[in-house]
Amino acid sequence: MKLDWMGDHRELVEKIIKYGNAYSNTYKLQRSYGTDMTFSAAQIQTLEYILEAEDQEEKMSEMAARLGVSRSTFSKNVKNLTEKGLLEKYHLSGNRKDIYVKPSAKGREVYTKYTAFVRELCFDDIFKLADQITEADKKSFIRIMDLFADVLVWYGEKEQEPRKLIKIEPDS
C-alpha cells in the first residue's frame, strides 16, 4: 500500500520513528555510560535537568513538565538518583510540601564523566553535521521535534475510552 498522505516526508517520518523505537528500547536500561555506576537514560536526563535548573529553585513538578514526563516518573527517577547519592532533597523553611532537588558533588562528577562518554560516542558527529546547517534549518528541525513531542505527551495524557468486556457469542 502506498502511503501518499506523507508526501515527500516519508523518509523524515521513518527516521523519527526509527529514533523513537531505538530510544524506547534503551530508555530504562541501566548502563554505566563511562562512569563507575549504572543508571538509565531516563535517570541521567533527570539529573541533567536538575543541574540545568539548579539556580532557578524550580519545583520537581515544574521540572517534570519541562522534561515532558509525568510527576510520578520524575519522582521515581529522583528517588533512584538520591539513593545512588547523585541528588540531595531540600524544602524551604516553613514549607515542607514543596520539594527541591539539587545535584550532589558525586552527581556532578558522574554527569561530567557521562557527558565526555556520550559526546565522544555520538554527539561529536551530530554536532559536526549540525554545524553545517543554517540556524533557520536548525530552528525548523527543533520545531519539528518539539511539535512531535508535544503530540506524544498530549496523547499519553489523553484519557482513553474505558475498556469494556464484550461477550463472544458461540458459533451457531
Global pTM reads: 0.76
- Cβ-Cβ contacts under 8 Å for 90 (sequence gap 6 or more): 99, 100, 101, 102
Determine the pLDDT at residue 86. 97
First to last CA, the chain: 36
Provide the residue-wise pLDDT of the chain in tens; the chain has 172 residues.
777 889 999 999 999 999 999 988 888 899 999 999 999 999 999 999 999 888 887 878 888 888 888 889 999 999 999 999 999 988 878 877 777 889 999 999 999 999 999 999 999 999 999 999 999 999 999 999 989 888 887 777 766 667 677 777 887 5
> b/e per residue, 81-100, with b = 16+ CB within 10 A?
beebebbeeeeeeeeeeeeb
The domain 10-153 having CATH identifier 1.20.210.10: the answer here is: no
